[in-house]
């Protein structure tokens, strides 16, 4: 179902336009010049902005760029950064498929994929943000010592991502199926995939994480799912050597 356009969307976007990069293709290859040579950390699909804003506030020496293609969602994230007077975060309204048009080789030092759409149907596997085509783009824009960080509550998507990363010669490490420690060791081994639609009414271990020393800031989805006892999967991966 198509999302209803938010009231006064254009006026709201205009008010926070100083934090939105209107023509990211013009910054390609020169982001460092505009951002004071700080390392760039990129989040694809920032949602309402909790993760990126918390990370920017906690790490002033890093510059964060968040991408979101849905204006109705993007506006909430930009407003959060604007109202918190964050000076080390910018936003791009764009599609991940255009990443190579926005960033040159080696410009990004960390990439965050938080609760990406799992596109469960096999016919849509190439739309998954960890499919081979996207991984090739990421390896092009990431620096040699860069890292990709993935978090999701969707175990099939996570398993697919691990397999796809390894098949593309990425170094995958620090894999966990239980980021917030909600499961016992036996439950971790036997944990089944869960999603927002399969946990209605669940209450198998309350947890309201705010910041995790391993996973960093917590997203809106992560907070919601963990409070219902849903385990969060996470991994880190380094791109293959060129």
The residue with greater pLDDT, 193 or 183, is: 183
3-state secondary structure 135-170: HHHHHHHEEEEEEEEEEECCHHHHHHHHHHHHHCCC
Residue 4 lies in a domain: no
| Any domain includes 1 | no
Percent of the residues in the chain that have a pLDDT greater than 90, as a whole number: 69
Q: Is residue 33 included in any domain, yes or no? A: yes
37 within domain boundaries: yes
The reply to whether 3 falls in a domain is no
Taking CA atoms, 221 is separated from 75, 125, 153, 169, 217, in Å, by 18, 22, 9, 30, 12
Per the structure, the count of domains in the chain is 1
pLDDT band of residue 139 (cuts 50, 70, 90) is very high
CATH of the domain at 65: 3.40.50.150
Rounded CA-CA distance 37/107 in Å is 10
Is the pLDDT at 8 greater than 70? The verdict is yes
Q: Which residues does the annotation mark as catalytic? A: 117
Q: Is the pLDDT of residue 7 over 80?
A: no
Instruction: List, in sequence order, the alpha helices (H) in 45-131.
Output: 50-58, 71-83, 99-102
Question: What pLDDT is attached to residue 202?
Answer: 28
Range of the domain at 35: 9-21+28-238
> Token pair 């190579």 is at which residue?
100
Output the pLDDT for position 194: 39
Query: How confident is the model over 188-202, as a mean pLDDT?
Result: 37
Domain annotation covers residue 68: yes
The distance from CA 87 to its chain's CA centroid, rounded to whole angstroms, is 20
- State yes or no: pLDDT of 205 exceeds 60: no
Domain assignment present for residue 207? The answer is yes
Indicate whether 66 belongs to any domain: yes
Report the mean per-residue pLDDT for the chain: 86
For the stretch 24-54, pLDDT in tens is 999 999 998 888 889 999 999 999 999 999 9
Question: Cα 83 to the chain's mean position, in Å?
Answer: 21
CA distance 91 to 17: 9
Interval 103-125 mean pLDDT: 96
């Amino acid at each position: 179902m198509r999302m209803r356009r938010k009231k006064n969307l254009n006026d709201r976007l205009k008010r926070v336009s100083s934090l939105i990069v209107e023509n990211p293709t013009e910054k390609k290859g020169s982001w460092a010049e505009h951002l004071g040579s700080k390392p760039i950390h990129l989040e694809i699909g920032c949602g309402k902005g909790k993760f990126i804003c918390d990370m920017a506030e906690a790490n002033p020496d890093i510059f964060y760029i968040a991408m979101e293609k849905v204006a109705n969602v993007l506006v909430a994230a930009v407003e959060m950064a604007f109202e918190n007077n964050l000076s080390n975060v910018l936003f791009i309204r764009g599609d991940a498929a255009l990443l190579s048009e926005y960033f040159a080789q080696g410009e990004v030092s960390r990439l965050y994929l938080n609760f990406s759409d799992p596109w469960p149907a096999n016919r849509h596997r190439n739309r998954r943000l960890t499919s081979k085509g996207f991984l090739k783009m990421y390896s092009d824009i990431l620096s040699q010592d860069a890292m990709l960080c993935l978090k999701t509550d969707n175990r099939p998507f996570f398993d697919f991502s691990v397999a796809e990363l390894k098949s593309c010669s990425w170094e995958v490490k620090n894999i966990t199926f239980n980021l917030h420690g909600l499961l016992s060791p036996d439950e971790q081994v036997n944990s089944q995939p869960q999603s927002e639609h399969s946990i209605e009414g669940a209450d198998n271990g309350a947890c309201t994480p705010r910041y995790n020393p391993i996973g960093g800031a917590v997203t809106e989805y992560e907070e919601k799912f963990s409070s219902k006892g849903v385990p969060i999967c996470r991994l880190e991966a380094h791109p293959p050597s060129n």
